[in-house]
Structure 1
Amino acid sequence: MAIYHCSVKVISRGSGRSAVAAAAYRSGERLTDERLGKCHDYTRKSDIEHREIMAPDRTPDWMLDRSRLWNGVEAAEKRKDAQLAREVEISLPRELGAEDRRALVEGYVREHFVSQGMIADVSLHRGHSADGQEQPHAHVMLTMRDLTGEGFGKKNRDWNASERLEGWRAAWADHANRALERAGCDARIDHRSLKDQREAARERGDAEREDQLDREPLGKVSLAAVAMERKGTVTERGEEQRGVRTRNRERRELAQQLRELSARIAETMRGLGDKAKDMAQGLRDRLSAAWGRQDQDADRGAAERIAEATAQRGERDRYTREPGSAAERIASRMADKGGADHDQAKRERERARDRDRDRGRER
């Protein structure tokens, strides 16, 4: 899969380095450092895929020669701790072919370095990573002084700004992702740290992407260590990276198991929910049926009571003459009510006399 790697560093005389030696190694050529009188021969390197010098239009012709260019850089620097060149090292997507990788690097270098007045010495290597797989990458050596006529002018300090460095790193991800899209590849790279990418995924609610980014970053392994590992020699950095890969693999497997378990739990809960719904519906149906029978029983009992009361009234009416007119019926009912009240008053008087008689006996 495509990986992101874009490092920017300075080749400095203060650390014992030579711009000529660095250019010879990266281009796989034989170059002589005229200041030191030392020859650097890397013509036996077999992993060089492409090399070229890219320069602004106003560049003098002599600077298009690799040996003369970097010997000119060495001659322009007088300090023993001078900064000689800036190097940008970038990993190229494995998903792209050689021609696509070359076009990708040329477009990136032209837009962000050559257009700003820098001369770029570009070398594409096939290379291998610590895991033994092919890892194509590019080395871009950049001049640090402005061009003035036929030579170099002053150091351009604007090129050292930290925001410019961050812009170069972000731009590489953009260029690479556009190239991957043109090639029909789904893979993408991101210049941000794993932590920043996880936080961004969490903010947008992308739980799956957040899980994918939950891994330990791979440490850097030097080219010397990679070469030793390829020859079968175990190195400390190689062991560290293998340990990181193992832990990341275990983390992915555990995360996958957790996702599968969560899916099974969710499916089980859905099954239980459906079963509970069916049980609840059955209970509702039974309850409705029970209430229906109760209503029917109540209606039947009420009908029977009504029928009985009607029969009793009919039997009474056979022996009781009902007044003919409405006025007579009302008078009759009032008389009945008055008679009932008179009988009730008579009974109350009799009970009062009985109580008085009882109290007289007690005295």
Structure 2
Amino acid sequence: MAIYHCSIKIGSRANGQSAIAAAAYRAGDNLKDKETGLVSDYSRKGGVVFSEISLCQNAPAEYADRATLWNAVHEIEKAKNSQLWREFEVALPQEFSRAEQIDTVRGFVKGLTKQGMCVDWSLHDKEDGNPHAHIMATMRSITEGGKWAPKSRKVYDLDENGERIFQKVDKSGRKQYKNHKEDYNDWNKKERVEEWRAAWAACCNERLAERDRIDHRSYKRQGIEQEPTIHEGYAARKIAAEGKPSERVRINEEIRERNNMLKQLAEQLHHIEQQLAELIKEKGSAAINAGKQRIADLLARRSRAVDSDDRGLADGERTTESRTERTTATEADRLIRESEAERRAALRNVGLEESGRTAQGNEKKAEHSATRLQPTEQPDTAAIFGAADSLIQDTDTNQEAVRAATADTDSTIRQSETKVTSAAAHRQERELAEQRRAAEERRRAEEAERKARAASERARKTSYDRGR
């Protein structure tokens, strides 16, 4: 299954880094730093399966040579804190053939060169299940004349009339105007990182099947309740394969275990919700339908039991009887409506009112049939009220069942929240451990940088002494 990985970082002099050494390592090449005379020879490095340099439109043709390109970068970036290159490290889908992997990276690199970068990229694959690419891009734009552009430029602030804003006269008698600096390009803006990460996902998804497609967004932004694993790396997996303890592999195993637990809880909760919906639909509709049927049966039996002599009633008596029938029918209809209102309230409490609408339409038809009386019928008011009371009791019983099922669901949700909280605590602990490891790595890098500077200074002094 394809995974998404695209990290973006900066190489700089401030960290004691060398673009020459970095390019030699990633390409498995032998390069010489003209500035220091140091040679970086990684020509025997294994796992480098492809390397290529892609130039932007204004770049000189000689920059197609790796040593020339990065020595030119060192020559223009003189400051001790200069940023030398931007690196994209991406994971290559194992579903792709080697040719497809190369074409996918080339398509992504094409987007960077269109923005004005020169790009040196290499594919690494040690047949250990971790094929990936290192993409080194320059930090400066190149002008139409083939020269390096400045990283920033001075821009004068203007007033409402479009004139420069005077500030003061300096010691040399020159006028100073209010101004600010603007980046020559927008590559350092935060939104560019999002665009580049999305572009890599798009390049991969062009060749991936729909079920295997990757997403540059985090699980949280995708709305997926899952904890992401951390990058293990070749060294950690090698240690684990040898049967030795590896902290990163252990952390990922714990994360996968917690994710499986969350998945099972989500499935159980979904199953409970389905059962609750079916219970509400079945119990609520059955109770009301039974009550309506009992009322209809009572009316039918009473109608058949009416003595035939009722046909001889006087006109005035018939009028009085009709009024009584209408009053009784109205009372029965009111009770039925109240019972129906209680049922709908119970359904709304669990968000399932929609599932009962179909049954409600059938119940209204039964209600209409049950309350339609012939002029000669004489309903039993006590029986009707008794049936209505029974219907209300059934509704109360149904509400109790709903409350019991809801209580069970709340208990399950609380248990899930407890386990998720525990997972969050584990995640926080892991992040703190990562921060401590990062701080230790920075400390070691600074120490190595200090030693490298000292060695370089000694070498320079030795060379100077010999020259004398």
TM-score (norm 1): 0.66
1:285 Cα shift?
4.4
2:139 match:
144
**Tell me, what secondary structure is at the counterpart of 1:86?**
strand
SS of alignment partner, residue 75 of structure 1:
helix
Q: Are 1:283 and 2:294 counterparts?
A: yes
* Counterpart for residue 151 of structure 2: 155
Q: Is the 8 A contact 2:219 2:228 kept in 1?
A: yes
Contact 2:30 2:43 in 1 (8 A): yes
Aligned partners of 1:95 and 1:185 also within 8 Å: no
Structure 2 match to 1:114: 113
Cα distance in 2 between the residues matched to 1:160 and 1:230: 40
Name the larger-Rg structure.
Answer: 1
- Deviation at 1:248? 0.9
Structure 1, unaligned runs of 5 or more: 199-212, 307-363
Q: Secondary structure at the match of 1:138?
A: strand
Residue correspondence of structure 1 range 117-132 to structure 2 within 5 A:
117-126=116-125
Check the 8 A contact 1:127/1:137 in 2, yes or no.
no
Residue 286 of structure 1, CA deviation: 2.3
Q: Which residue of 2 aligns with 1:332?
A: none
Say if 1:279 and 1:100 are closer, same or farther in 2 by CA, change over 3 A: farther
Cα RMSD (Å) of the superposition? 3.0
How far off is 1:114 after superposition? 0.3
Residue 102 of structure 1 corresponds to which residue in structure 2? 102
Q: How far did residue 116 of structure 1 move?
A: 1.8
Q: Deviations over 1:45-69 (max 9, x none)?
A: 22x3432111124432321122332
Q: 1:228 to 1:73 in 2, by over 3 A?
A: farther
Q: Counterparts of 1:226 and 1:36 in 2: how far apart (Å)?
A: 36
Where does residue 7 of structure 2 map in the other structure?
7
Closer, same or farther: CA 260–170 of 1 in aligned 2, 3 Å = same
The equivalent of 1:246 in structure 2 is 257
CA shift at 1:107, angstroms?
Answer: 1.7
In 2, Cα distance between equivalents of 1:92 and 1:270: 50
Shift of 1:214: 0.6
**What one-letter code is carried by the residue in structure 2 that aligns with 1:41?**
Y
For residues 298 and 79 of structure 2, what CA distance do their matches in structure 1 show?
98
Distance 1:303 1:72 in 2: 117
Q: How far, CA to CA, are the matches of 1:66 and 1:144 in structure 2?
A: 16
Q: Are 1:33 and 1:40, in contact at CA under 8 Å, matched by a contact in 2?
A: no
Amino acid corresponding to residue 125 of structure 1 in structure 2: H
Partner of 2:216 in structure 1?
191
TM-score normalised to structure 2 length? 0.53
Distance 1:234 1:24, change over 3 A: farther
SS at match of 2:133: strand
Listed as ranges, the gaps of 5+ residues in structure 2 are 153-182, 315-468
Q: 1:258 aligns with which of 250, 253, 269?
A: 269
Distance 1:285 1:135 in 2: 74
Deviations 1:279-328 (A, max 9, x none): 3454244224323224x33xx2425788xxxxxxxxxxxxxxxxxxxxxx
Distance 1:122 1:79 in 2: 25
Aligned equivalent of 2:65 = 65
The 8 Å contact of residues 2 and 95 in structure 2, kept in 1 or not, is answered as yes
Q: Using a 3 Å threshold, how does the CA distance of structure 1 residues 280 and 116 change in structure 2: closer, same or farther?
A: same
For residue 220 of structure 1, report the CA deviation from its aligned partner. Answer: 3.6
Q: Deviations over 1:1-48 (max 9, x none)?
A: 3333222211112212221222122223333444341323153322x3
Aligned length: 280
